[in-house]
Amino acid sequence: MAATSAPLLQLQGISKSFGSVQALTDVDFEVRPGEVMALVGDNGAGKSTLVKCIAGTHAPDDGAIVFEGREVHIHGPKDASKLGIEVVYQDLALCDNLDVVQNMYLGREANRAEILNEPTMEQHTAETLASLRVTTINSVRQTVATLSGGQRQSVAVARAVMWNSKLVILDEPTAALGVAQTEQVLELVRRLGEQGLGVVIISHNLHDVFETATRITVLRLGRNVGLFEREKTTPQEVVEAITAGQPTKVSGITRPAATEPAS
Amino acid sequence: MSTADFAAATKTEPTGIAGLWRKTFDNLKSGNLGVLPIVLGLIFIVVFFSFKATNFFTATNFVNIIIQMAGTAMLAYGVVFVLLLGEIDLSISYVAGIGALTVAELQLPGSGHQISGLLAMLCAVIVCAAIGLGQGSIVAYVGVPSFVVTLAGYLVWQGVILQRLEQPGSIIIQDRWINYTASYFFSHTAGWLIAALVTGLYLLSVVATWVSHARAKIANKNLGLTIAKLLGVAAASFGVVAICNHSYVQGNPLGLPLAGVIVVVFLIVLTFLAKRTTFGRHVYAVGGNAEAARRAGISVPRIRIIVFMISAAMAACGGIILAANVNSVDLNFGGGTLLLNSIAAAVIGGVSLFGGRGEVRGAFLGALVIATVSNGLNTAGYATGTIYIVTGLILLLAVTLDTIARRLQVRSGR
């Protein structure tokens, strides 16, 4: 297998329970660089829990996380950031009262002796937005409160990729958007993949998934029920897996039904 | 679209007079009123009282107003930071009392612990900052609402002052350094030099911004507006000194009061802290969306605690000036309208009670409005009751205007 398609992130046999609730059971998951991996499943399928394990919010009870070929232990968002993993949550975590530049640099301000270096931040923000072809924002000095939903999502995504991140996880990035703005954000998601980042997109919307993803991982009741390649599957097949899929993993050996064995 | 094209597209800062009008109009439309309403209000108040009271529009009364606003302004500066977080500090008036009591105690001749007034003032600020550290820690780490913590502080520190002053009733402040904070006047020449210094520093900061923007190839703000602001600062500083240099008390010439200089120095320093430092940025972020700030790796408790320390330290500074103004600390110190006037000053100046919005200069202007109204009504012969009523109505008017403006802003956004 070519070096470029070696997995960027690999989760092996992840299990997680909260008290008596088994949220994840022996889940495998991988993302290659330059690929958009969709993570789909019904409510309560374990998507969010899986992402929180990657982001370091939850520690998995069992299983291993391998990032760039090394096993890693992620104990919090800071650890994840250090590795180059950024999560864009559904509620975006932007400060409405701050402008685009201030939000992009929130918590990592460019400064010298605590004094902000505004020109550098403004310049770099404009460049980052331009490289992602986010052209709908008139001024990087307008407050986020004045932006549309799609623009806000773009800012949140741009912030995630600005820090040399290697893996960006997007939680329901189009959930609150109109048609045109959804298109904008999906375009942005595809572009992240083209730039060589690993992208995970969590979505309820199969249209979005089929528009952007290269592969699709389906979870059901905290277990793997399918791994599909977009070009070799249909929405019907994915819906079937979401609603009635059977666990694809037997006795600890990963052999997802619809794809060739990895490595 | 290439990077260069994009950069060019983001640089459509309007230019020329027409652009300036458009920008001002856009700002007004989107609810960003800035300092315009309060400055207009202030001009109206000054003109009104000039006709109403013969002694109002005089150089000497101008100096009075500066000294009267100084204490409130210092407390209000601290309030700005607390409000920016969306918190409240009700203890400041009596923390100011503790600050005043501390200097009074430490300068007391024959007490066995008399130290220089300068050192005493430093001690007072440290004592009060420690109070802020305590109150802030309870808010930040235990999670008790700041309203409750500082309400408790209000009672506790009032109690401490009453206990200490029960016997003597009051302590006279004789130390000249402490009293200078309210009663020192610069010589006319020194006044002019200070005006030149302020103007020069502002010019320097404008040029520095300009150069760094040009170096980073970022569009500068409207040139006309920048020059107008520069001229405004020059006119204001030289104008203030010119008026102060014409003031007399009982035939003796006064000059620029030290209290006014202290207020302006803190205005500049705290504005810099709020707008140009990482700490200030984080204060706005925590006030805007604490959860977002936390996720961005900002230590929210640390920011909260430092802000409560700033609030208490500023209260100490204000308390010292207020005590110096009457050369004593008595049982009633910190009572009356000091607390509410300080909060009102910040709110009149456009600082939001819900956090994340407002500037230090708002507190300056708000304190100036409150002092001017109170002085004007006094000069015109009205009683205290009227002063409270008018101050209350101005507060209501200012917040109503701001609320309406913000509703328009929400409508124009998203």
CA A36 to chain centroid, in Å, comes to 9
List the single residue in B with minimal CA-CA distance to A99.
B285
Question: Phi then psi for B141, rounded to 5 degrees?
Answer: -95, -40
Contacts of A149 in chain B (CB under 8 A): 414
- pLDDT for residue A134: 83
Nearest to A95 among B6, B288, B297 (CB): B288
- Give this complex's ipTM: 0.83
| Contact map slice: A 27-86 vs B, CB within 8 A | 77-78, 81
d(CA B36, CA B407) in angstroms, rounded, equals 18
Q: Is B22 on the interface with A (CB under 8 A)?
A: no
Which amino acid, B164?
R
φ, ψ of residue B208 to 5 degrees: the values are -60, -45
Quote the pLDDT of residue B24: 66
Q: A175: pLDDT confidence band, cut at 50, 70 and 90?
A: confident
Residues of chain A in contact with residue B288, where contact means CB-CB under 8 angstroms, are 95-98
Q: Among partner residues A115, A119, A145, which is closest to B215 by beta-carbon distance?
A: A119
| Unique residue bearing structure tokens 């949140």 | A156
Please name each of the domains of chain A with its CATH number.
3-93+148-254 (3.40.50.300)
From chain B, pick out residues whose CB is under 8 angstroms from the CB of A147: 413-414
Low-confidence residues in chain B, pLDDT < 70: 1-33, 409-414
Is any Cβ of chain A less than 8 angstroms from the Cβ of B191? Answer: no
Q: Rounded to an integer, what distance in angstroms lies between the CA atom of residue B365 and that of residue B245? A: 22
- pLDDT at residue B56, rounded to an integer: 92
Identify the pLDDT of residue B412: 52
Banded pLDDT at A150 (limits 50, 70, 90)? confident
Helices (H) and strands (E) in chain B, counts: 17, 4
Give, in order, the Cα–Cα distances in Å from B292 to each of A53, A56, A94, A171, B170: 19, 17, 6, 15, 49
Nearest to A63 by CA among A87, A88, A29, A38: A29
What's the pLDDT score for residue A138? 84
- Record: contact A123-B217, CB cut-off 8 A: yes
Q: Can you read off the two tokens belonging to residue B75?
A: 């407390």
Identify which of B385, B407, B378 has the alpha carbon closest to the alpha carbon of residue B52. B378
Which ranges of A41-144 would DSSP assign to H, the alpha helix? Answer: 47-55, 77-83, 100-104, 118-131
Interface test with B, best of A75, A91, A92, A98 (most B CBs within 10 A): A98
Nearest CA in chain B to A150: B414
What is the number of other CB atoms lying within 10 angstroms of the CB of residue B258?
A: 19
Quote the CA–CA distance of B150 and B156 in Å, as a whole number: 9
Q: Is A106 on the interface with B (CB under 8 A)?
A: yes
Q: What is the pLDDT of residue B8?
A: 39
* Smallest Cα distance from B292 to chain A, Å: 4
Residue of A nearest to B289 (CA): A95
Q: Give the domains, in start order, of chain B with CATH numbers.
A: 36-184+257-412 (1.10.3470)
Predicted pLDDT at B26? 66
B292–A102: do the CB atoms touch at under 8 Å? no
Per residue in A79-124, pLDDT tens?
888 899 988 887 778 999 999 999 999 988 988 888 998 889 999 9
Q: What is the pTM of this model?
A: 0.87
The alpha carbons of chain A give a radius of gyration, in whole angstroms, of 19
